[in-house]
A and B are shown apart, each in its own frame.
Chain A
Amino acid sequence: MERTKAIIMHQDFVEQIRKDFPILEQKINGKPLIYFDNAATTQKPKQVIDALTDYYSGYNANIHRGIHHLAEKATSAFEETRKAIARFLNAESSDEIVFTYGTTDGINLVANTYGEAFLSEGDEIIISTMEHHSNIVPWQMLCEKKGCVLKVIPMSDAGELLMDEYDKLLSERTKIVSVVYASNALGTVNPIREIIEKAHAYGAVTLVDAAQATSHIRIDVQDLDVDFLCMSAHKLYGPTGMGALYGKRALLDKMPPWRGGGEMIKEVTFAKTTYNELPYKFEAGTPNIADVIALKTALDYVENIGLEKIAAHEQELLDYATESLKGISGLKIVGEAADKVSVISFVMDGIHPQDIGVILDQQGIAIRTGHHCTQPLMQRLGIVGTSRASFAVYNTKAEIDGLVAGLHKAKKFLL
Protein backbone atom coordinates (compact mmCIF):
# COMPACT_ATOMS: atom_id res chain seq x y z
CA MET A 1 0.00 0.00 0.00
CA GLU A 2 2.68 2.47 1.05
CA ARG A 3 4.71 1.45 -1.94
CA THR A 4 1.77 1.96 -4.32
CA LYS A 5 1.19 5.39 -2.81
CA ALA A 6 4.84 6.30 -3.30
CA ILE A 7 4.72 5.20 -6.92
CA ILE A 8 1.59 7.26 -7.59
CA MET A 9 3.16 10.33 -5.96
CA HIS A 10 6.24 9.83 -8.05
CA GLN A 11 4.17 9.59 -11.22
CA ASP A 12 2.18 12.72 -10.37
CA PHE A 13 5.33 14.69 -9.66
CA VAL A 14 6.91 13.82 -12.98
CA GLU A 15 3.68 14.12 -14.99
CA GLN A 16 3.25 17.70 -13.79
CA ILE A 17 6.83 18.56 -14.61
CA ARG A 18 6.71 16.97 -18.06
CA LYS A 19 3.91 19.37 -19.02
CA ASP A 20 6.42 22.21 -18.72
CA PHE A 21 8.68 20.76 -21.42
CA PRO A 22 7.04 21.07 -24.84
CA ILE A 23 9.88 19.26 -26.62
CA LEU A 24 9.11 16.02 -24.79
CA GLU A 25 5.72 15.70 -26.44
CA GLN A 26 7.11 14.78 -29.84
CA LYS A 27 7.67 11.47 -31.53
CA ILE A 28 10.98 10.48 -33.06
CA ASN A 29 10.88 7.86 -35.80
CA GLY A 30 7.27 7.26 -34.84
CA LYS A 31 8.09 6.53 -31.18
CA PRO A 32 7.60 8.80 -28.16
CA LEU A 33 10.87 10.61 -27.49
CA ILE A 34 12.89 9.28 -24.56
CA TYR A 35 15.48 11.94 -23.88
CA PHE A 36 18.44 10.55 -21.96
CA ASP A 37 21.13 12.96 -23.16
CA ASN A 38 20.74 15.37 -20.28
CA ALA A 39 24.42 15.42 -19.37
CA ALA A 40 25.01 16.98 -22.78
CA THR A 41 22.21 19.49 -22.38
CA THR A 42 18.91 19.54 -20.54
CA GLN A 43 15.66 20.47 -22.21
CA LYS A 44 14.10 23.85 -21.44
CA PRO A 45 10.80 24.41 -19.64
CA LYS A 46 8.28 26.66 -21.38
CA GLN A 47 8.88 29.28 -18.67
CA VAL A 48 12.46 29.69 -19.97
CA ILE A 49 11.32 29.71 -23.59
CA ASP A 50 8.70 32.35 -22.69
CA ALA A 51 11.32 34.48 -20.93
CA LEU A 52 13.29 34.61 -24.18
CA THR A 53 10.21 35.55 -26.20
CA ASP A 54 9.16 38.15 -23.62
CA TYR A 55 12.53 39.82 -23.77
CA TYR A 56 12.67 40.03 -27.56
CA SER A 57 9.03 41.03 -27.95
CA GLY A 58 8.85 43.32 -24.94
CA TYR A 59 12.08 45.00 -23.87
CA ASN A 60 15.00 44.19 -26.16
CA ALA A 61 17.61 46.91 -25.65
CA ASN A 62 21.33 47.17 -25.07
CA ILE A 63 22.15 47.26 -21.41
CA HIS A 64 24.07 49.42 -18.92
CA ARG A 65 24.54 52.53 -21.10
CA GLY A 66 21.08 53.46 -22.35
CA ILE A 67 18.92 55.82 -20.35
CA HIS A 68 15.62 55.00 -21.99
CA HIS A 69 12.89 52.83 -20.50
CA LEU A 70 13.69 49.64 -22.42
CA ALA A 71 17.40 49.85 -21.63
CA GLU A 72 16.66 50.27 -17.96
CA LYS A 73 14.25 47.37 -17.91
CA ALA A 74 16.70 45.11 -19.75
CA THR A 75 19.61 46.17 -17.54
CA SER A 76 17.67 45.52 -14.41
CA ALA A 77 16.55 42.04 -15.57
CA PHE A 78 20.12 41.24 -16.66
CA GLU A 79 21.54 42.21 -13.28
CA GLU A 80 18.80 40.29 -11.48
CA THR A 81 20.25 37.11 -12.96
CA ARG A 82 23.65 37.95 -11.56
CA LYS A 83 22.10 38.29 -8.12
CA ALA A 84 20.16 35.05 -8.62
CA ILE A 85 23.35 33.16 -9.49
CA ALA A 86 25.09 34.66 -6.45
CA ARG A 87 22.21 33.38 -4.29
CA PHE A 88 22.20 30.00 -6.07
CA LEU A 89 25.91 29.51 -5.34
CA ASN A 90 25.82 31.42 -2.06
CA ALA A 91 28.50 33.85 -3.21
CA GLU A 92 29.24 36.73 -0.89
CA SER A 93 28.41 39.29 -3.55
CA SER A 94 27.03 39.37 -7.08
CA ASP A 95 30.23 41.27 -8.02
CA GLU A 96 31.91 37.87 -7.85
CA ILE A 97 29.75 36.52 -10.68
CA VAL A 98 31.14 37.04 -14.18
CA PHE A 99 29.01 36.08 -17.17
CA THR A 100 30.72 33.78 -19.65
CA TYR A 101 29.81 31.71 -22.70
CA GLY A 102 29.79 28.67 -20.44
CA THR A 103 32.06 26.50 -18.34
CA THR A 104 34.72 26.18 -21.05
CA ASP A 105 34.86 29.95 -21.42
CA GLY A 106 35.15 30.41 -17.66
CA ILE A 107 38.12 28.05 -17.42
CA ASN A 108 39.78 29.79 -20.35
CA LEU A 109 39.22 33.13 -18.64
CA VAL A 110 40.98 32.00 -15.47
CA ALA A 111 43.84 30.38 -17.41
CA ASN A 112 44.32 33.52 -19.49
CA THR A 113 44.11 36.03 -16.65
CA TYR A 114 45.11 34.48 -13.34
CA GLY A 115 47.37 31.98 -15.10
CA GLU A 116 48.87 34.64 -17.30
CA ALA A 117 49.61 36.99 -14.40
CA PHE A 118 50.65 34.66 -11.61
CA LEU A 119 52.17 31.49 -13.06
CA SER A 120 55.70 31.10 -14.25
CA GLU A 121 58.17 28.46 -15.39
CA GLY A 122 58.24 25.33 -13.26
CA ASP A 123 54.93 26.04 -11.56
CA GLU A 124 52.57 23.10 -11.43
CA ILE A 125 48.89 22.71 -12.25
CA ILE A 126 46.98 19.67 -11.03
CA ILE A 127 43.93 18.25 -12.82
CA SER A 128 42.42 14.76 -12.74
CA THR A 129 42.11 11.77 -15.06
CA MET A 130 38.39 12.31 -15.54
CA GLU A 131 38.53 15.90 -16.81
CA HIS A 132 36.55 17.06 -19.79
CA HIS A 133 38.80 18.41 -22.55
CA SER A 134 37.62 21.86 -21.44
CA ASN A 135 39.51 21.43 -18.20
CA ILE A 136 42.62 20.02 -19.87
CA VAL A 137 43.33 22.03 -23.00
CA PRO A 138 43.29 25.58 -21.51
CA TRP A 139 45.87 24.44 -18.93
CA GLN A 140 47.99 22.69 -21.56
CA MET A 141 48.00 25.89 -23.57
CA LEU A 142 49.05 27.84 -20.48
CA CYS A 143 51.78 25.30 -19.69
CA GLU A 144 53.14 25.54 -23.20
CA LYS A 145 53.24 29.30 -23.01
CA LYS A 146 54.66 29.60 -19.52
CA GLY A 147 56.70 26.45 -19.12
CA CYS A 148 54.46 25.13 -16.36
CA VAL A 149 53.89 21.44 -15.65
CA LEU A 150 50.55 19.64 -15.76
CA LYS A 151 50.03 16.86 -13.19
CA VAL A 152 47.16 14.42 -13.25
CA ILE A 153 45.42 12.77 -10.27
CA PRO A 154 44.97 9.09 -11.16
CA MET A 155 41.79 7.14 -10.49
CA SER A 156 40.67 3.63 -9.58
CA ASP A 157 38.99 1.23 -12.00
CA ALA A 158 35.68 2.09 -10.35
CA GLY A 159 36.20 5.71 -11.36
CA GLU A 160 37.18 7.31 -8.07
CA LEU A 161 40.14 9.64 -7.67
CA LEU A 162 43.07 8.20 -5.72
CA MET A 163 43.38 10.78 -2.98
CA ASP A 164 46.65 9.33 -1.66
CA GLU A 165 48.16 9.91 -5.06
CA TYR A 166 46.79 13.45 -5.04
CA ASP A 167 48.65 14.04 -1.77
CA LYS A 168 51.86 12.98 -3.46
CA LEU A 169 51.35 15.39 -6.36
CA LEU A 170 50.84 18.41 -4.11
CA SER A 171 53.86 20.53 -3.30
CA GLU A 172 55.01 24.10 -2.87
CA ARG A 173 55.21 24.22 -6.66
CA THR A 174 51.46 23.57 -7.04
CA LYS A 175 49.83 26.82 -8.07
CA ILE A 176 46.44 25.72 -9.42
CA VAL A 177 44.27 22.68 -8.74
CA SER A 178 41.43 22.43 -11.26
CA VAL A 179 39.08 19.48 -10.88
CA VAL A 180 35.65 18.48 -12.09
CA TYR A 181 32.94 18.27 -9.42
CA ALA A 182 30.86 15.59 -11.17
CA SER A 183 32.24 13.64 -14.12
CA ASN A 184 30.22 13.96 -17.32
CA ALA A 185 31.40 10.56 -18.56
CA LEU A 186 31.19 8.46 -15.39
CA GLY A 187 28.91 10.38 -13.06
CA THR A 188 31.50 10.26 -10.25
CA VAL A 189 31.07 12.99 -7.66
CA ASN A 190 34.55 13.94 -6.49
CA PRO A 191 35.41 14.78 -2.85
CA ILE A 192 35.74 18.39 -3.86
CA ARG A 193 35.89 19.85 -0.35
CA GLU A 194 38.85 17.66 0.55
CA ILE A 195 40.55 18.46 -2.76
CA ILE A 196 40.17 22.19 -2.09
CA GLU A 197 41.35 21.97 1.53
CA LYS A 198 44.47 20.06 0.57
CA ALA A 199 45.28 22.47 -2.26
CA HIS A 200 44.91 25.43 0.08
CA ALA A 201 47.30 23.84 2.55
CA TYR A 202 49.97 24.33 -0.13
CA GLY A 203 48.79 27.81 -1.03
CA ALA A 204 47.38 26.70 -4.39
CA VAL A 205 44.34 28.30 -5.96
CA THR A 206 41.41 26.00 -6.79
CA LEU A 207 38.98 25.87 -9.68
CA VAL A 208 35.95 23.62 -9.81
CA ASP A 209 34.33 22.63 -13.10
CA ALA A 210 30.72 22.46 -11.95
CA ALA A 211 29.13 22.10 -15.39
CA GLN A 212 27.70 18.68 -14.58
CA ALA A 213 27.11 19.33 -10.88
CA THR A 214 24.86 22.39 -10.72
CA SER A 215 21.64 20.60 -11.66
CA HIS A 216 22.15 17.79 -9.13
CA ILE A 217 24.15 19.09 -6.17
CA ARG A 218 23.59 22.10 -3.89
CA ILE A 219 26.71 24.22 -4.17
CA ASP A 220 27.84 26.71 -1.54
CA VAL A 221 31.01 28.40 -2.73
CA GLN A 222 31.72 30.02 0.64
CA ASP A 223 31.29 26.78 2.50
CA LEU A 224 33.52 24.94 0.00
CA ASP A 225 35.96 27.85 0.14
CA VAL A 226 36.57 27.36 -3.58
CA ASP A 227 38.46 30.11 -5.40
CA PHE A 228 36.88 29.75 -8.85
CA LEU A 229 33.86 27.80 -9.99
CA CYS A 230 32.55 27.54 -13.54
CA MET A 231 29.06 26.58 -14.66
CA SER A 232 26.93 26.43 -17.80
CA ALA A 233 23.31 27.54 -18.05
CA HIS A 234 22.28 24.93 -20.59
CA LYS A 235 22.91 21.99 -18.29
CA LEU A 236 20.59 23.59 -15.75
CA TYR A 237 17.42 23.91 -17.86
CA GLY A 238 18.64 27.30 -19.11
CA PRO A 239 19.74 28.61 -22.52
CA THR A 240 22.80 27.47 -24.46
CA GLY A 241 25.93 29.55 -24.98
CA MET A 242 26.08 31.21 -21.60
CA GLY A 243 27.24 30.50 -18.11
CA ALA A 244 29.00 32.03 -15.18
CA LEU A 245 32.34 32.15 -13.45
CA TYR A 246 32.39 32.61 -9.72
CA GLY A 247 35.63 33.99 -8.35
CA LYS A 248 36.64 35.26 -4.93
CA ARG A 249 36.70 39.04 -5.04
CA ALA A 250 40.30 39.30 -3.83
CA LEU A 251 41.43 37.13 -6.74
CA LEU A 252 39.24 38.72 -9.41
CA ASP A 253 40.43 42.15 -8.28
CA LYS A 254 44.06 41.40 -8.88
CA MET A 255 43.54 39.57 -12.17
CA PRO A 256 44.17 41.51 -15.38
CA PRO A 257 41.30 41.77 -17.88
CA TRP A 258 41.31 39.37 -20.80
CA ARG A 259 39.17 40.52 -23.69
CA GLY A 260 39.25 44.21 -24.49
CA GLY A 261 36.38 46.28 -25.82
CA GLY A 262 33.20 47.94 -24.67
CA GLU A 263 31.71 47.52 -21.20
CA MET A 264 35.01 46.45 -19.58
CA ILE A 265 36.50 49.97 -19.60
CA LYS A 266 36.31 52.93 -17.28
CA GLU A 267 37.98 55.43 -19.56
CA VAL A 268 39.74 55.14 -22.89
CA THR A 269 42.22 57.54 -24.43
CA PHE A 270 44.67 56.66 -27.16
CA ALA A 271 47.39 56.86 -24.56
CA LYS A 272 45.85 54.64 -21.92
CA THR A 273 42.73 52.76 -20.88
CA THR A 274 41.56 52.27 -17.33
CA TYR A 275 39.37 49.30 -16.60
CA ASN A 276 35.94 49.03 -15.15
CA GLU A 277 35.32 47.53 -11.74
CA LEU A 278 34.14 44.01 -10.99
CA PRO A 279 32.51 42.13 -12.56
CA TYR A 280 32.39 44.31 -15.70
CA LYS A 281 36.15 44.25 -16.07
CA PHE A 282 35.74 40.75 -17.54
CA GLU A 283 32.68 41.36 -19.67
CA ALA A 284 33.76 42.98 -22.92
CA GLY A 285 31.19 43.65 -25.62
CA THR A 286 27.43 43.37 -25.67
CA PRO A 287 26.62 40.23 -23.73
CA ASN A 288 24.08 37.52 -24.43
CA ILE A 289 21.35 39.58 -22.77
CA ALA A 290 18.30 37.46 -23.58
CA ASP A 291 19.87 34.21 -22.45
CA VAL A 292 21.27 35.75 -19.28
CA ILE A 293 17.78 36.97 -18.41
CA ALA A 294 16.26 33.55 -19.17
CA LEU A 295 18.80 31.86 -16.92
CA LYS A 296 17.15 33.53 -13.94
CA THR A 297 13.88 31.93 -14.99
CA ALA A 298 15.64 28.57 -15.15
CA LEU A 299 17.11 29.03 -11.67
CA ASP A 300 13.68 30.03 -10.35
CA TYR A 301 12.21 26.95 -11.99
CA VAL A 302 14.74 24.68 -10.30
CA GLU A 303 14.35 26.36 -6.92
CA ASN A 304 10.55 26.23 -7.12
CA ILE A 305 10.66 22.47 -7.47
CA GLY A 306 13.62 22.28 -5.11
CA LEU A 307 17.09 21.17 -6.11
CA GLU A 308 17.08 18.55 -3.34
CA LYS A 309 13.80 17.11 -4.58
CA ILE A 310 15.17 16.98 -8.13
CA ALA A 311 18.32 15.27 -6.90
CA ALA A 312 16.31 12.70 -4.95
CA HIS A 313 14.20 11.89 -7.99
CA GLU A 314 17.30 11.55 -10.17
CA GLN A 315 18.98 9.33 -7.59
CA GLU A 316 15.96 7.06 -7.67
CA LEU A 317 16.19 6.90 -11.46
CA LEU A 318 19.93 6.20 -11.29
CA ASP A 319 19.45 3.34 -8.82
CA TYR A 320 16.63 1.88 -10.89
CA ALA A 321 18.65 2.17 -14.11
CA THR A 322 21.74 0.65 -12.50
CA GLU A 323 19.74 -2.37 -11.33
CA SER A 324 17.93 -2.68 -14.67
CA LEU A 325 21.02 -2.44 -16.84
CA LYS A 326 22.89 -4.95 -14.70
CA GLY A 327 20.23 -7.45 -15.79
CA ILE A 328 21.35 -7.27 -19.41
CA SER A 329 23.97 -9.92 -20.10
CA GLY A 330 27.13 -8.69 -21.76
CA LEU A 331 26.57 -5.14 -20.49
CA LYS A 332 29.15 -3.58 -18.21
CA ILE A 333 28.61 -0.34 -16.34
CA VAL A 334 31.58 2.01 -16.62
CA GLY A 335 32.05 4.12 -13.52
CA GLU A 336 30.90 2.55 -10.29
CA ALA A 337 31.84 5.21 -7.79
CA ALA A 338 29.97 5.17 -4.50
CA ASP A 339 28.81 8.75 -5.05
CA LYS A 340 27.38 9.49 -8.50
CA VAL A 341 25.10 11.98 -10.20
CA SER A 342 22.44 10.59 -12.55
CA VAL A 343 24.82 9.54 -15.31
CA ILE A 344 25.21 5.92 -16.31
CA SER A 345 27.86 4.91 -18.80
CA PHE A 346 28.16 1.39 -20.15
CA VAL A 347 29.77 -0.82 -22.77
CA MET A 348 28.40 -4.00 -24.34
CA ASP A 349 30.45 -7.02 -25.35
CA GLY A 350 31.12 -7.14 -29.06
CA ILE A 351 29.13 -4.01 -29.89
CA HIS A 352 30.51 -0.60 -30.79
CA PRO A 353 28.86 2.23 -28.78
CA GLN A 354 27.96 4.09 -31.94
CA ASP A 355 25.89 1.15 -33.20
CA ILE A 356 23.96 1.12 -29.94
CA GLY A 357 23.25 4.84 -30.32
CA VAL A 358 21.99 4.42 -33.89
CA ILE A 359 19.65 1.52 -33.05
CA LEU A 360 18.29 3.31 -29.97
CA ASP A 361 17.73 6.46 -32.03
CA GLN A 362 15.57 4.45 -34.41
CA GLN A 363 13.43 3.66 -31.38
CA GLY A 364 13.15 7.32 -30.33
CA ILE A 365 15.70 6.98 -27.52
CA ALA A 366 18.35 9.71 -27.35
CA ILE A 367 21.54 8.74 -25.55
CA ARG A 368 25.13 9.84 -26.04
CA THR A 369 27.83 7.58 -27.40
CA GLY A 370 31.54 8.14 -27.86
CA HIS A 371 34.37 9.49 -25.75
CA HIS A 372 32.31 12.32 -24.19
CA CYS A 373 35.17 14.79 -24.74
CA THR A 374 37.20 12.83 -22.19
CA GLN A 375 39.69 11.00 -24.41
CA PRO A 376 42.40 10.65 -21.73
CA LEU A 377 39.80 9.05 -19.45
CA MET A 378 38.80 6.58 -22.17
CA GLN A 379 42.49 5.77 -22.70
CA ARG A 380 42.83 5.13 -18.96
CA LEU A 381 39.88 2.75 -19.13
CA GLY A 382 41.18 1.12 -22.31
CA ILE A 383 37.98 1.65 -24.29
CA VAL A 384 37.07 3.63 -27.41
CA GLY A 385 34.01 5.10 -25.78
CA THR A 386 30.83 4.31 -23.91
CA SER A 387 27.10 4.62 -24.30
CA ARG A 388 25.76 7.06 -21.75
CA ALA A 389 22.27 7.61 -20.45
CA SER A 390 21.81 10.61 -18.17
CA PHE A 391 18.65 11.60 -16.36
CA ALA A 392 16.92 14.84 -15.49
CA VAL A 393 13.90 15.89 -13.46
CA TYR A 394 11.39 15.00 -16.22
CA ASN A 395 12.56 11.42 -16.79
CA THR A 396 10.64 8.39 -15.58
CA LYS A 397 11.19 4.77 -14.65
CA ALA A 398 8.95 3.77 -17.56
CA GLU A 399 11.45 5.48 -19.86
CA ILE A 400 14.25 3.44 -18.29
CA ASP A 401 12.21 0.32 -19.03
CA GLY A 402 12.04 1.63 -22.60
CA LEU A 403 15.82 1.93 -22.67
CA VAL A 404 16.24 -1.62 -21.41
CA ALA A 405 13.87 -2.93 -24.09
CA GLY A 406 15.73 -0.84 -26.66
CA LEU A 407 19.06 -2.32 -25.58
CA HIS A 408 17.72 -5.86 -25.84
CA LYS A 409 16.63 -5.04 -29.35
CA ALA A 410 20.04 -3.52 -30.14
CA LYS A 411 21.72 -6.70 -28.95
CA LYS A 412 19.45 -8.83 -31.11
CA PHE A 413 20.25 -6.68 -34.14
CA LEU A 414 23.95 -6.20 -33.67
CA LEU A 415 25.23 -9.50 -32.36
Chain B
Amino acid sequence: MTINEIQDEIIEDFELFDDWEGKYEYIIDLGKKLPPLDEQFKTEENIIKGCQSVVWLHAFEKDGVIHFVADSEAIIVKGLVSLLTKVLSEQKAEDILNADLYFIEKVGLAGHLAQTRSNGLAAMLKQMKTYALAYTSKELKV
Protein backbone atom coordinates (compact mmCIF):
# COMPACT_ATOMS: atom_id res chain seq x y z
CA MET B 1 0.00 0.00 0.00
CA THR B 2 1.17 3.52 -0.67
CA ILE B 3 1.64 6.06 2.10
CA ASN B 4 -1.52 7.87 1.06
CA GLU B 5 -3.58 4.70 0.90
CA ILE B 6 -2.59 3.89 4.47
CA GLN B 7 -3.32 7.45 5.57
CA ASP B 8 -6.77 7.33 3.98
CA GLU B 9 -7.47 4.06 5.75
CA ILE B 10 -6.52 5.61 9.12
CA ILE B 11 -8.74 8.62 8.43
CA GLU B 12 -11.60 6.25 7.68
CA ASP B 13 -10.97 4.36 10.93
CA PHE B 14 -11.09 7.58 12.93
CA GLU B 15 -14.35 8.64 11.29
CA LEU B 16 -16.03 5.93 13.36
CA PHE B 17 -15.48 7.97 16.53
CA ASP B 18 -17.76 10.85 17.28
CA ASP B 19 -16.09 11.89 20.55
CA TRP B 20 -12.63 12.15 22.06
CA GLU B 21 -13.19 9.12 24.25
CA GLY B 22 -13.52 6.66 21.41
CA LYS B 23 -10.60 8.25 19.59
CA TYR B 24 -8.28 8.06 22.58
CA GLU B 25 -9.40 4.57 23.51
CA TYR B 26 -8.38 3.54 20.02
CA ILE B 27 -4.99 5.29 20.24
CA ILE B 28 -4.33 3.79 23.68
CA ASP B 29 -5.27 0.39 22.31
CA LEU B 30 -2.81 0.84 19.44
CA GLY B 31 -0.18 1.77 22.02
CA LYS B 32 -0.88 -1.34 24.06
CA LYS B 33 -0.77 -3.56 20.98
CA LEU B 34 2.50 -2.20 19.58
CA PRO B 35 5.12 -4.79 20.49
CA PRO B 36 7.80 -3.40 22.79
CA LEU B 37 11.04 -2.54 21.06
CA ASP B 38 13.76 -5.13 21.50
CA GLU B 39 16.00 -3.97 24.39
CA GLN B 40 19.07 -4.08 22.11
CA PHE B 41 17.59 -1.21 20.10
CA LYS B 42 16.85 0.97 23.12
CA THR B 43 20.22 2.63 22.75
CA GLU B 44 21.26 6.19 23.44
CA GLU B 45 21.58 6.61 19.68
CA ASN B 46 17.95 5.64 19.08
CA ILE B 47 16.48 7.92 21.73
CA ILE B 48 14.44 10.89 20.69
CA LYS B 49 14.20 13.01 23.75
CA GLY B 50 11.11 15.01 24.46
CA CYS B 51 10.65 17.06 27.57
CA GLN B 52 8.19 14.59 29.06
CA SER B 53 8.56 11.16 27.55
CA VAL B 54 11.17 9.22 25.63
CA VAL B 55 10.66 7.78 22.16
CA TRP B 56 12.99 5.13 20.75
CA LEU B 57 13.20 4.81 17.00
CA HIS B 58 15.18 2.15 15.17
CA ALA B 59 15.43 2.14 11.38
CA PHE B 60 16.90 -0.34 8.93
CA GLU B 61 16.81 -0.97 5.23
CA LYS B 62 15.69 -4.29 3.79
CA ASP B 63 14.63 -5.23 0.25
CA GLY B 64 14.82 -1.66 -0.97
CA VAL B 65 12.45 -0.23 1.64
CA ILE B 66 13.02 1.35 5.04
CA HIS B 67 11.64 -0.30 8.15
CA PHE B 68 10.87 1.61 11.31
CA VAL B 69 10.32 0.10 14.74
CA ALA B 70 9.64 2.36 17.68
CA ASP B 71 8.52 2.51 21.27
CA SER B 72 7.68 5.02 24.00
CA GLU B 73 7.26 4.95 27.74
CA ALA B 74 3.98 6.90 27.53
CA ILE B 75 1.08 4.90 26.14
CA ILE B 76 -0.64 7.67 24.14
CA VAL B 77 2.63 8.65 22.52
CA LYS B 78 3.19 4.96 21.81
CA GLY B 79 -0.19 4.81 20.08
CA LEU B 80 0.75 7.80 17.94
CA VAL B 81 4.15 6.25 17.27
CA SER B 82 2.32 3.15 16.10
CA LEU B 83 0.33 5.25 13.61
CA LEU B 84 3.45 6.99 12.28
CA THR B 85 5.34 3.74 11.78
CA LYS B 86 2.29 2.16 10.15
CA VAL B 87 2.25 4.96 7.59
CA LEU B 88 5.97 5.31 6.91
CA SER B 89 7.48 1.88 7.53
CA GLU B 90 8.27 -0.41 4.62
CA GLN B 91 8.19 2.47 2.16
CA LYS B 92 10.79 3.67 -0.27
CA ALA B 93 13.15 6.33 1.05
CA GLU B 94 12.07 8.78 -1.61
CA ASP B 95 8.39 8.31 -0.81
CA ILE B 96 9.07 8.85 2.90
CA LEU B 97 10.94 12.04 2.12
CA ASN B 98 8.15 13.38 -0.04
CA ALA B 99 5.31 12.22 2.20
CA ASP B 100 2.70 14.78 3.18
CA LEU B 101 1.21 13.43 6.37
CA TYR B 102 -2.23 14.97 6.07
CA PHE B 103 -3.84 12.29 8.23
CA ILE B 104 -2.51 13.90 11.42
CA GLU B 105 -4.52 17.05 10.81
CA LYS B 106 -7.55 15.15 9.47
CA VAL B 107 -7.94 12.93 12.51
CA GLY B 108 -7.48 15.88 14.86
CA LEU B 109 -4.09 15.00 16.31
CA ALA B 110 -2.11 18.00 15.06
CA GLY B 111 -1.89 19.29 18.64
CA HIS B 112 0.32 16.36 19.53
CA LEU B 113 2.80 17.28 16.86
CA ALA B 114 2.84 20.96 17.73
CA GLN B 115 4.00 20.20 21.25
CA THR B 116 7.49 19.49 20.06
CA ARG B 117 9.07 19.96 23.43
CA SER B 118 6.69 17.83 25.38
CA ASN B 119 6.55 14.55 23.54
CA GLY B 120 9.19 14.35 20.91
CA LEU B 121 6.69 13.16 18.33
CA ALA B 122 7.51 15.93 15.90
CA ALA B 123 11.18 15.15 16.48
CA MET B 124 10.43 11.51 15.70
CA LEU B 125 8.82 12.43 12.39
CA LYS B 126 11.81 14.60 11.53
CA GLN B 127 14.14 11.74 12.43
CA MET B 128 12.21 9.35 10.15
CA LYS B 129 12.67 11.73 7.26
CA THR B 130 16.33 12.19 8.14
CA TYR B 131 16.88 8.43 7.94
CA ALA B 132 15.18 8.43 4.56
CA LEU B 133 17.36 11.31 3.41
CA ALA B 134 20.51 9.58 4.60
CA TYR B 135 19.48 6.49 2.70
CA THR B 136 18.78 8.34 -0.55
CA SER B 137 22.16 10.07 -0.44
CA LYS B 138 23.75 6.69 0.19
CA GLU B 139 21.98 5.45 -2.89
CA LEU B 140 23.10 8.41 -4.91
CA LYS B 141 26.73 7.94 -3.94
CA VAL B 142 26.73 4.30 -5.06
Contacts and interface: CB of A to CB of B under 8 A. Distances in A.
A385 B25 CA distance: 24
B73 A413 contact: no
B20 A362 contact: yes
B20 A354 contact: no
Nearest to B73: A352
B118 A354 contact: yes
A413 B20 contact: no
B85 interface: no
A352 B53 contact: yes
B76 A358 contact: yes
Given A29-B20, A354-B77, A385 B28 contact: no
Contacts of A414: 28, 75
- Nearest 7 Cβ contacts at the A-B interface: A352-B74, A370-B52, A354-B74, A354-B52, A362-B20, A354-B53, A355-B76
Contacts of A351: 75
29 contacts: A351-B75, A352-B53, A352-B73, A352-B74, A352-B75, A353-B52, A354-B52, A354-B74, A354-B76, A354-B119, A355-B74, A355-B76, A358-B24, A359-B24, A359-B76, A362-B20, A362-B21, A369-B52, A370-B51, A370-B118, A371-B51, A371-B52, A384-B53, A385-B52, A413-B24, A413-B25, A413-B28, A414-B28, A414-B75
Find the residue from A357, A358, A371, A413 having the highest chain B CB count within 10 A: A358
Interface in B76-97: 76-77
A121 to B, nearest CB: 34
- What does DSSP make chain B's interface, helix, strand, loop or mixed? helix
Contacts of B75: 351-352, 355, 414
A369 B53 CA distance: 10
Contacts of B118: 354, 370
Contact of B24 (A352, A353, A362, A371): A362
A352 B77 CA distance: 10
Interface of A: 29, 351-355, 357-359, 362, 369-371, 384-385, 413-414
Contacts of A362: 20-21, 24
A136 B53 CA distance: 23
Contacts, number: 41
A193 to B, nearest CB: 35
Find the residue from A29, A353, A354 having the highest chain B CB count within 10 A: A354
A371 B53 CA distance: 10
B78 to A, nearest CB: 9
Nearest to A384: B73
Contacts of A370: 51-52, 118
Interface string B23-36: 01100100000000
A384 to B, nearest CB: 7
A29 B73 CA distance: 26
Nearest to B27: A358
A29 B118 CA distance: 20
A352 B71 CA distance: 14
B92 to A, nearest CB: 33
Interface string B91-119: 00000000000000000000000000011
Contacts of B21: 362, 413
A159 B118 CA distance: 25
A413 B79 CA distance: 13
A355 B76 CA distance: 6
Contacts of A354: 52-53, 74, 76-77, 118-119
Given A352-B75, A359-B76, A371-B52, 17 more contacts: A29-B20, A351-B75, A352-B53, A352-B73, A352-B74, A354-B77, A354-B119, A355-B75, A358-B76, A359-B24, A369-B52, A370-B51, A370-B52, A370-B118, A371-B51, A413-B24, A414-B75
Nearest to A359: B24
A150 B51 CA distance: 25
B136 to A, nearest CB: 33
Nearest to A351: B75
B81 to A, nearest CB: 13
A197 to B, nearest CB: 37
Nearest to B50: A354
Contacts of A413: 21, 24-25, 28
A354 B77 CA distance: 9
